[in-house]
């Protein structure tokens, strides 16, 4: 590959946002170089772990039921973010989501209807046939056919913002544009020139040292659900040069996952959905929070953080035979025993402490009509923390348990952008030829909370915008 020539567009990253940008730029006539830090076998970032994206539609489609209007989508987003969202950019993403299905199918992506266990999303979220890996393979195939130049094993280290004049800027007080990128390509240092650059390099959730700045040594016990290549190097480099930040740097989205998951890349199969059907104790055998507070997806996101706050960043979900078939298990088998004391030993907990906790919990359970599908009336009384729903005595062997750790999905810190996906400086000026898409700018829209399927929607819509705008800039 010729690294001495000047490309129209350099795309940094190899996940969904990067591929959407690269394809859009190439289809707009630009020469494109895509630099992916991961080797080919691990290409695709967190995007390869995904299953669906959230799309608005006014009538049923081949895979989506009913209608999901712009207003309902916006209401959902406003609720989960508590107003921490840029409405113009959010509505751009929502409106853009309506056209994604057709655009993606024309580029080789296939969809499937929701399957059992995901039916609650059948109206709002379109599922990728074969999951995120098949999606990424389809995009890479398309990019190769179009003639996008792809460099694997290539980490972009820095994007120096030049000091110079730029239309619309305050003379002397600004930075930009970007002329070159410094990188290591299969271990060798290099630099590459481009007329426009798209930063689509994800969040910094795999950078444990960075997480330690906010979480201290606890971060050593966090498991990262996705790619180890999400180091946030470009994010940091841009913020260090005066690019405007967006999103709370200390916050991340985390869920409770099986503690036996690998440090990185465990993906979706390590998630545990059993929490509402039993109790959760910390390493001292003590309950920590109301396990029956609410239904998925609300409960899904709070437990990662709760486990992160426990001593040793570990907790244990305990239940009995009555609940065994009510949830999607993790890829690891549950620990089982015929008594609570034996289960405690299996899990490495103090038997007397766990027996006392289960005994107190069972005594607090009030009679009710159990219904795993709704917020039922099975509750506890006289115990702290309470269990608001699905409270049933843990009394039917075999008993089972799973160890839990915080599984970090993504970080919220990003770079501020405008409607053209141009990266903005702290003074509000665009850098000019620098665009951003995906997780690195998702904090503009999702400043807090989570809405299932929104990450891929933001990456797809803004990836397309960034690619198109970058190509247009290069042609001028
Ligand atoms: C287990 C799991 C399941 C998920 N499921 C869903 C789902 O079903 N729906 C949904 O909407 N969201 C889901 N998400 C969130 C979703 O993965 C992200 O929102 C989305 O993938 C972000 O896309 P991206 O392209 O911005 O980042 P990524 O896909 O993470 O890609 C970032 C890319 O940048 C590369 N990179 C990083 N730094 C550099 C550098 N300096 N130089 C070169 N390359 C670099 C990385 O190697 C990687 O290829 C899930 C996340 C996880 C972890």
Q: What is the pLDDT of residue 435?
A: 98
> Which atom of ligand 1 is least distant from the CA of 230?
37
CA 16 – ligand 1 centroid, Å: 7
Kindly state if the Cβ of 230 falls inside 6 Å of ligand 1. yes
**Cα dihedral 104/110/111/112 (nearest 10):** 180
Three-state DSSP class for residue 374: coil
Kindly state if the Cβ of 443 falls inside 6 Å of ligand 1. no
Of all protein residues, the one whose alpha carbon is nearest to atom 3 of ligand 1 is 50
Q: Which range among 60-64, 336-340, 364-368 shows the weakest confidence by mean pLDDT?
A: 60-64
Q: What is the pLDDT of residue 296?
A: 58
Q: Mutate which of 10, 125, 201 to test ligand 1's pocket (most atoms within 8 Å of Cβ)?
A: 201
Q: Hey, what are 250's tokens?
A: 């200390």
Kindly state if the Cβ of 63 falls inside 6 Å of ligand 1. no
Kindly state if the Cβ of 456 falls inside 6 Å of ligand 1. yes
383 touches 366 (CB < 8 A) = no
CA 226 – ligand 1 centroid, Å: 7
Kindly state if the Cβ of 14 falls inside 6 Å of ligand 1. yes
Q: Mutate which of 10, 11, 12, 15 to test ligand 1's pocket (most atoms within 8 Å of Cβ)?
A: 15
Confidence of residue 329 (pLDDT cuts 50, 70, 90): confident
Alpha-helix runs per DSSP H in 220-270: 233-240
Q: What is the pLDDT of residue 221?
A: 97
Integer CA distances (angstroms), 383 to 370, 380, 474, in order: 19, 7, 65
Residue 16: name the closest of 107, 115, 92, 102 by CA. 107
Q: Hey, what are 188's tokens?
A: 């060798």
Of all protein residues, the one whose alpha carbon is nearest to atom 19 of ligand 1 is 455
Domains of the chain from N-terminus onward: 6-220+412-475 (3.50.50.60), 256-407 (3.90.700.10)
What span, in angstroms and rounded, lies between the C-alpha atoms of 414 and 421? 13
What span, in angstroms and rounded, lies between the C-alpha atoms of 275 and 385? 14
Q: Mutate which of 10, 11, 12, 13 to test ligand 1's pocket (most atoms within 8 Å of Cβ)?
A: 13
Kindly state if the Cβ of 207 falls inside 6 Å of ligand 1. no
Kindly state if the Cβ of 37 falls inside 6 Å of ligand 1. yes
Kindly state if the Cβ of 223 falls inside 6 Å of ligand 1. no
pLDDT digits (tens, 9 = 90+) for 419-471: 999 999 999 999 989 999 999 999 999 998 889 999 999 999 999 999 999 99
pLDDT digits (tens, 9 = 90+) for 18-60: 999 999 999 999 999 999 999 999 999 999 999 999 999 999 9
CA 202 – ligand 1 centroid, Å: 6
Integer CA distances (angstroms), 297 to 168, 191, 228, 277, in order: 44, 44, 25, 15
Q: Hey, what are 326's tokens?
A: 């009510």
Confidence of residue 172 (pLDDT cuts 50, 70, 90): very low
Kindly state if the Cβ of 463 falls inside 6 Å of ligand 1. no
CA 45 – ligand 1 centroid, Å: 4
> Which atom of ligand 1 is least distant from the CA of 18?
25
Of all protein residues, the one whose alpha carbon is nearest to atom 7 of ligand 1 is 50
Kindly state if the Cβ of 93 falls inside 6 Å of ligand 1. no
pTM score: 0.94
Residue 57: strand pairing partners? 68
Q: What is the pLDDT of residue 165?
A: 45
The angle, 0 to 180 degrees and rounded to 10, between the axes of the packed helices 87-97 and 454-475 is 100
| String of DSSP letters for 78-118 | HHHHTT-S-HHHHHHHHHHHTTHHHHHHTTT--EEPPPTT-
> Which atom of ligand 1 is least distant from the CA of 132?
8
CA 17 – ligand 1 centroid, Å: 8
Q: What is the pLDDT of residue 273?
A: 86
């Amino acid at each position: 590959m010729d690294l001495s020539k000047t490309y129209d567009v350099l795309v940094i990253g190899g996940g969904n946002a990067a591929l959407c940008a690269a394809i859009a730029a190439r289809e707009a006539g630009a020469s494109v170089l895509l630099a992916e830090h991961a080797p080919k076998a691990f290409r695709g970032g967190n995007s390869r772990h995904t299953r669906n994206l959230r799309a608005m539609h006014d009538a049923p489609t081949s895979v989506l039921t009913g209608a999901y209007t712009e207003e309902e989508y916006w209401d959902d987003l406003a609720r989960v973010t508590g107003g921490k969202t840029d409405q113009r950019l959010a509505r751009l993403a929502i409106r853009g989501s309506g056209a994604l299905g057709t655009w993606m199918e024309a580029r080789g992506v296939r969809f499937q209807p929701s399957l059992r266990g995901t039916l609650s999303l059948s109206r709002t979220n379109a599922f990728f046939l074969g999951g995120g890996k098949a999606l990424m393979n389809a995009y890479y195939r398309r990019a190769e056919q179009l003639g996008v130049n792809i460099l694997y094993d290539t980490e972009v280290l820095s994007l120096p913002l030049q000091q110079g004049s730029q239309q619309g800027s305050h003379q002397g007080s600004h930075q930009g544009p970007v002329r070159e990128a410094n990188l290591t390509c299969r271990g060798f240092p290099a630099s590459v020139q481009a007329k426009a650059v798209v930063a689509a390099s994800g969040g910094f959730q795999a950078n444990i040292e960075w997480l330690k700045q906010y979480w201290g040594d606890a971060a050593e016990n966090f498991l990262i659900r996705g790619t180890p290549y999400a180091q946030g190097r470009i994010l940091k480099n841009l913020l260090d040069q005066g690019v405007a930040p967006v999103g709370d740097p200390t916050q991340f989205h985390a869920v409770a996952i099986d503690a036996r998951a690998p440090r990185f890349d465990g993906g979706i199969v390590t998630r545990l959905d059993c929490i509402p059907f039993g109790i959760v104790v910390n390493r001292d055998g003590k309950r920590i929070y109301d396990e029956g507070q609410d239904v998925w997806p609300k409960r899904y996101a709070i437990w990662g953080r709760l486990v992160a706050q426990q001593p040793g960043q570990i907790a244990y979900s305990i239940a009995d035979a009555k609940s065994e078939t009510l949830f999607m298990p993790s890829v690891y088998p549950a620990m089982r025993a015929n008594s609570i004391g034996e289960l405690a030993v299996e899990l490495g907990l103090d038997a007397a402490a766990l027996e006392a906790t289960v005994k107190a919990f069972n005594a607090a359970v009030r009679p009710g009509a159990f219904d795993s599908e709704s917020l039922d009336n099975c509750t506890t009384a006289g115990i702290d923390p309470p269990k608001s729903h699905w409270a049933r005595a843990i009394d039917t062997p075999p008993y089972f348990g799973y160890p839990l750790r915080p599984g970090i999905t993504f970080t919220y810190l990003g770079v501020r952008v405008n409607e053209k996906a141009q990266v903005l400086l702290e003074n509000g000026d665009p850098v000019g030829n620098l665009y951003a898409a995906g997780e690195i700018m998702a904090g503009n829209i999702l400043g807090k909370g989570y809405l299932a399927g929104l990450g891929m929607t933001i990456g797809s819509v803004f990836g397309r915008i960034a690619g198109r705008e970058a190509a247009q800039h290069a042609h001028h």
